[in-house]
Amino acid sequence: MAVNNHYLYSDITDRVIKAATKVHRTLGPGLVEKLYQRALKVEFTNNGISAQREKQIYMQYEGHNIGFDKVDFDVDDKVLVELKSVSELNKIHQAQMISYLKSSKRRVGLIINFANIKLEIKRVIV
């Protein structure tokens, strides 16, 4: 009996990770986040990946709209992608993604950290 090792939306996340890896390999580590965001948008466009940049995520509190925050990318209206350029990812980055996912009613997010020699990727599922 075959075991299914695919994650939810793994087809999309695999394409995003491949694009991010190319950007990281080309630009190298340690630049500011905005540069990686712009390069990744180019890479998405070149590879036919539908992604909305700086997608507004509206926050609710007890049924009231209290404002919005922005996630770096919403890919195919299914996967949220948040970029970082920090020495290490920590719990606050994951908590932020969980809040984005819940508020946007999405289930899958990727946090991608470009700051280090090795690209760091964290998959978040709610």
Q: Using a cut of 0.75, tell me whether the model's pTM lies above it.
A: yes
End-to-end CA, the chain: 28
Q: Which two tokens stand for residue 47?
A: 């590879």
Give the phi and the psi of residue 72 in degrees, each rounded to 5. -60, -45
Q: What string of pLDDT tens digits covers the 126 residues of the chain?
A: 344 457 889 999 999 999 999 999 999 999 999 999 999 999 999 999 999 999 999 998 999 999 999 999 999 999 999 999 999 999 999 999 999 999 999 999 999 999 999 999 999 999
Q: What is the DSSP letter of 63?
A: T
Would you call 65 exposed, middle or buried from its count of C-beta atoms within 10 A (0-12, 13-18, 19+)? exposed
Domain limits, the chain: 10-125
Look at domain 10-125 and name its CATH class.
alpha beta
68-73 own/partner pairs: CB under 8 Å, 24+ apart: 69/100, 71/100, 71/104, 71/109, 72/33, 72/37, 72/40, 73/16, 73/37, 73/40, 73/41, 73/44
